[in-house]
Amino acid sequence: MIDTNRALKHVEEAHFVRGLAWGEVGDYDQALADIDRAIELNPNVADYYLGRARFHLGEARDVRALSDYERAAELNPADTVAPMNAGAIWFGRNIWTRAIQCFDRVVEIDPANAQAHYSRYLAYSRQGNGAQAIGCIDRALELAPAERQFLVSRALLHFRARRFGQAIPDFSRLVELDPADASWLYARGVARIRLGDIVGGRADIAEAAAIEPGIAGSMAKEGIVP
């Protein structure tokens, strides 16, 4: 006797795999048609909704993608992919509260997810909530202390808030990570001068200019000037 359930399982998986293949070559209509069929056959597989959401994104259909991420999260509440990707959509639409809710969910599931903490920092920053933002970037750097983008973000956050004493350690760490990058050596020099360390600041700026002669002009565009 034919095992109907097993046969249907093979059919739904075949539609899903073929849909992914269509999507990889850029044929989103065919991809969606196949994955739609897989979901019709079995509407209780989180991966099918995650896969379909990818191709809704490719077609700029954010609302449908969000619906699929919501369903995927219901089916697999321990997975972080759906809320992380949904947060990215809300962030891209400048709806900070919804983005933060999604990133918060990721942190609830995986408190050691440094990228989720950083995403919360970005959303709180755009929302204008500096107190929450600094807590998020601090936590991200506790989890990933050598992550360059995290360091850059916090260093500039402190610098622009005129917290030069707090910016300097992050600039120093960036210099350690990439001594050939004159930007953060120059920025540290400016921060030192702002704190009254004229000799140390000028030494940093001179060293940065020796690495990259035009560094003063490029950093001035970022608002980093002695």
Q: Are residues 62 and 103 in the same domain?
A: no
* Average pLDDT rounded to a whole number, residues 28-48: 89
Given a cut of 70, whether residue 125 has pLDDT beyond it is yes
Q: Are residues 167 and 94 in the same domain?
A: no
Last residue of a domain, one of 79, 102, 130: 79
Q: Are residues 136 and 206 in the same domain?
A: no
Tell me: the pLDDT tens digits for 127-179? 999 899 999 999 999 999 999 999 999 999 999 999 999 999 999 999 999 99
Please give the model's pTM, rounded to 2 decimal places.
0.84
* Average pLDDT rounded to a whole number, residues 179-207: 97
The boundaries of the domain holding residue 54 are: 1-79
Q: Are residues 27 and 92 in the same domain?
A: no
How far is it, in rounded angstroms, from Cα 207 to Cα 222? 19
Given a cut of 50, whether residue 5 has pLDDT beyond it is no
Tokens of 113: 């997810």
Q: Are residues 120 and 188 in the same domain?
A: no
Q: Are residues 6 and 73 in the same domain?
A: yes
Q: Are residues 182 and 205 in the same domain?
A: yes
Q: Are residues 152 and 168 in the same domain?
A: yes
Q: Are residues 226 and 156 in the same domain?
A: yes
Longest dimension (CA), the chain: 88
- Listed range (1-5, 11-15, 126-130) with the worst mean pLDDT: 1-5
* Average pLDDT rounded to a whole number, residues 88-104: 96
How far is it, in rounded angstroms, from Cα 163 to Cα 5? 64
Last residue of a domain, one of 120, 144, 168: 144
Mean pLDDT of the chain: 91
Given a cut of 90, whether residue 9 has pLDDT beyond it is no
How far is it, in rounded angstroms, from Cα 118 to Cα 174? 17
How far is it, in rounded angstroms, from Cα 37 to Cα 52? 11
Backbone angles phi, psi at 27, to 5 degrees: -95, 85
Q: Are residues 124 and 157 in the same domain?
A: no
Last residue of a domain, one of 44, 60, 79: 79
Tokens of 130: 């500096």
The confidence score (pLDDT) of residue 28 equals 85
Q: Contact, 48 vs 40, CB < 8 A?
A: no
Tell me: the pLDDT tens digits for 75-92? 999 999 999 999 999 999
Given a cut of 80, whether residue 6 has pLDDT beyond it is no
Tell me: the pLDDT tens digits for 42-55? 999 999 989 988 88
Indicate the number of domains in the chain: 3
Q: Are residues 43 and 101 in the same domain?
A: no
CATH number at residue 75: 1.25.40.10
